[in-house]
Amino acid sequence: MASRDFSHRLSDVHGSLRRPVSLSRRLHMDIPLLVLLLVLAALGLGVLYSASGGDMNYVRRQSIFMCVAFVGMFIVAQIPLDFYRRWSPWAYLAGCVLLVGVLFFGTKAMGAQRWLEIGGFRFQPSEVMKLGVPMAVAAYLHQRRLPPSLITVIGALAIVAVPAALIVRQPDLGTSILIAASGLFALYLAGLSWKMISVAAMALLVAAYPIWHWGLHDYQRQRILTLLNPDDDRFNTGWNIFNSKAAIGSGGIYGKGYLQGTQSQLDFLPESHTDFIIAVLSEEWGMRGALLLLLLYVLIIARGIYISFMAQYVFGRLLAGSITLTFFVYVFVNIGMVTGLLPVVGVPLPVISYGGTSLITLMAGFGLLMAVGTERRRVHF
Amino acid sequence: MPHDYHLKDPHTEQRLFRNRMLVALLGVVFLLGVLVARFYNLQVVNYEDYRTQSDENRIQVRPVAPTRGLIYDRNGILLADNRASYNLSIVRERVRDMDATLELIGNLVRLDENDVAKFQKRLKRRRPSYEPVPLRFRLNDDEIARISVNQFRMPGVLVEAELVRYYSLGDLFAHSVGYVGRISDSDLNNFTEDDVRRYRGTRSIGKVGLERSYEDLLLGEVGYENVEINALSRVLRVLERQDPKPGADLVLNLDARLQQVASDALGDRRGAVVAIDVNSGGVLAFVSKPSFDPNLFVTGISFADYRALSDSLDVPLFNRAVQGRYPPGSTLKPLMGLGGLQAGIISRETTVKDPGFYKLPNDPRIYRDHVRWGHGEKVDLVQAMAQSCDVYFWDMAHRWDIDDMHSIASHFGLGAKTGIDLPIENSGLFPSRDWKRGARGMPWFPGDSLNAVLGQGFVLATPLQLAVMTATIANRGTHYRPQMVKSINGVEQPSEILHNLEARPDHWDLVFEGMEAVVNHSTGTGKRAGKDLDFRVAGKSGTAQVVGIAQGARYDSEALQERHRDHALFVAFAPVDNPRIAVSVLVENGEGGGKVAAPVARELFAEWMSRPQQELQKAANATHLGEGASNG
pLDDT one-digit tens code per residue, B335-375: 999 999 999 999 999 999 888 888 888 888 888 887 778 88
Mutate to test the interface with A, among B5, B7, B18, B50 (most CBs of A within 10 A): B50
| Amino acid at residue number B248 | A
B480 has which bridge partners? B497
Nearest to B39 among A190, A282, A298 (CB): A282
Per-residue 3-state assignment (H helix, E strand, C coil) for B558-612: HHHHHHCCCEEEEEEEECCCCCCEEEEEEECCCCCHHHHHHHHHHHHHHHHHCCC
Query: What's the alpha-carbon Rg for chain B, to the nearest Å?
Result: 36
Question: ipTM more than 0.85?
Answer: yes
Q: A291 and B21 in contact by Cβ < 8 A? A: no
pLDDT band at A227 (very low <50, low <70, confident <90, very high): low
How much is the pLDDT for B624?
A: 40
* Burial group, residue A23, by CB count within 10 angstroms (0-12, 13-18, 19+): exposed
B424 at interface of A, judged by CB pairs closer than 8 A? no
Which of chain B's residues have a Cβ under 8 Å away from the Cβ of A201? none
What mean pLDDT value characterizes chain B? Answer: 86
B238 has which bridge partners? B227
Nearest to A287 among B32, B43, B94 (CB): B43
Which of chain A's residues have a Cβ under 8 Å away from the Cβ of B154? none
In A24-140, the DSSP E strands lie at: 107-109, 112-118, 121-123
| CB-based contact A244:A279 (threshold 8 Å) | yes
Average pLDDT score over residue span B501-511: 92
Identify the three-state secondary structure at position B395. Answer: helix
Burial B109-146 (b: 16+ CB within 10 A, else e): bebeeebeebbeebeeeeeeebebbbbbbebeeebeeb
How much is the pLDDT for B569?
A: 94
B46 at interface of A, judged by CB pairs closer than 8 A? yes
How much is the pLDDT for A66?
A: 95
Residue B98 pLDDT more than 60?
A: yes
How do residues B31-72 score in pLDDT, each as one tens digit?
Answer: 999 999 999 999 999 998 888 877 777 777 778 889 999 999
Q: B279 — alpha (psi -120 to 50), left (phi > 0) or beta?
A: alpha
Does an H or E element contain B62, and which?
A: strand B59-64
What's the Cα-to-Cα distance from A290 to each of A7, A286, B337, rounded to whole Å?
54, 7, 99
Other C-beta atoms within 10 Å of B75: how many? 13
Residue B394 pLDDT more than 90?
A: yes
pLDDT band at A275 (very low <50, low <70, confident <90, very high): confident
How much is the pLDDT for B126?
A: 56
Which of chain B's residues have a Cβ under 8 Å away from the Cβ of A313? 10
How much is the pLDDT for B124?
A: 75
How much is the pLDDT for A27?
A: 84
B141 at interface of A, judged by CB pairs closer than 8 A? no
Average pLDDT score over residue span B320-333: 93
How much is the pLDDT for B4?
A: 46
- Starting at the edge strand found earlier in the chain, the sheet holding A112-118 runs A107-109, A112-118, A121-123
| CB-based contact A341:B34 (threshold 8 Å) | yes
How far is the C-alpha of A318 from the C-alpha of A192, rounded, in Å? Answer: 12
How far is the C-alpha of B229 from the C-alpha of B237, rounded, in Å? Answer: 7
**Torsion sign over Cα B447, B448, B452, B458:** positive
| CB-based contact B176:B71 (threshold 8 Å) | no
| Amino acid at residue number B435 | W
How much is the pLDDT for B617?
A: 55
Higher pLDDT: A108 or B445? It is B445
How much is the pLDDT for A57?
A: 86
How far is the C-alpha of A328 from the C-alpha of B28, rounded, in Å? Answer: 8
Higher pLDDT: A222 or A102? It is A102
How much is the pLDDT for B189?
A: 84
Nearest to B43 among A239, A251, A314 (CB): A251
Q: B38 and A251 in contact by Cβ < 8 A? A: no
How far is the C-alpha of B546 from the C-alpha of B564, rounded, in Å? Answer: 6
Q: B31 and A309 in contact by Cβ < 8 A? A: no
pLDDT band at A11 (very low <50, low <70, confident <90, very high): very low
Does an H or E element contain B242, and which?
A: strand B235-242
Identify the three-state secondary structure at position A245. Answer: helix
Identify the three-state secondary structure at position B584. Answer: strand
The DSSP line for B100-122 is HHHHHHHHHS---HHHHHHHHHH
Residue B301 pLDDT more than 90?
A: no
Q: B230 and A266 in contact by Cβ < 8 A? A: yes
Which of chain B's residues have a Cβ under 8 Å away from the Cβ of A142? 4
Other C-beta atoms within 10 Å of A279: how many? 33
How much is the pLDDT for B214?
A: 96
How far is the C-alpha of B336 from the C-alpha of B406, rounded, in Å? Answer: 10
Backbone angles phi, psi at B502, to 5 degrees: -90, 115
Characterize the bridge pairing of strands A107-109 and A112-118.
Answer: antiparallel
B96 at interface of A, judged by CB pairs closer than 8 A? yes
Q: A252 and B44 in contact by Cβ < 8 A? A: yes
Most confident segment among A2-16, A103-117, B102-116: B102-116
Please, what is the end-to-end C-alpha distance for chain B in angstroms? 134
Search chain B and give the residue with CA nearest A291: B36
Q: B17 and A185 in contact by Cβ < 8 A? A: no
Which of chain B's residues have a Cβ under 8 Å away from the Cβ of A309? 18, 21
Higher pLDDT: A247 or A219? It is A247
Q: B51 and A339 in contact by Cβ < 8 A? A: no
Least confident of A83-97, B94-108, B591-605: B94-108
Q: What is the pTM of this model?
A: 0.63
Orientation of helix A277-310 relative to helix B10-40, angle to 10°: 160
How far is the C-alpha of A172 from the C-alpha of A126, rounded, in Å? Answer: 9
> How many CB contacts within 8 angstroms connect chain A with chain B?
142
Nearest to B36 among A147, A262, A291 (CB): A291
Search chain A and give the residue with CA nearest B53: A246
Degrees, nearest 5: CA angle B599-B605-B606? 90
Percentages helix, strand, coil for chain A (3-state, rounded to 5) are 75, 5, 25
How much is the pLDDT for B195?
A: 85
| CB-based contact B372:B356 (threshold 8 Å) | yes
How far is the C-alpha of B395 from the C-alpha of B350, rounded, in Å? Answer: 11
How much is the pLDDT for A111?
A: 66
Q: A189 and B17 in contact by Cβ < 8 A? A: yes
Q: A305 and B25 in contact by Cβ < 8 A? A: yes
How much is the pLDDT for B258?
A: 95
Does an H or E element contain B53, and which?
A: helix B47-58
Residue A232 pLDDT more than 90?
A: no
Residue A300 pLDDT more than 50?
A: yes
Identify the three-state secondary structure at position B140. Answer: coil
Degrees, nearest 5: CA angle B378-B379-B385? 175
Backbone angles phi, psi at B303, to 5 degrees: -60, -45
Least confident of A233-237, B169-173, B395-399, B577-581: A233-237
Give catalytic residues of B, as residue numbers. 330
How do residues A140-169 score in pLDDT, each as one tens digit?
Answer: 999 888 888 889 999 999 999 999 999 988
* Burial group, residue B428, by CB count within 10 angstroms (0-12, 13-18, 19+): buried
How do residues B530-564 score in pLDDT, each as one tens digit?
Answer: 888 889 999 999 988 775 444 444 445 555 577 77
Find, among B178, B210, B206, the residue nearest to B292 by Cα.
Answer: B178
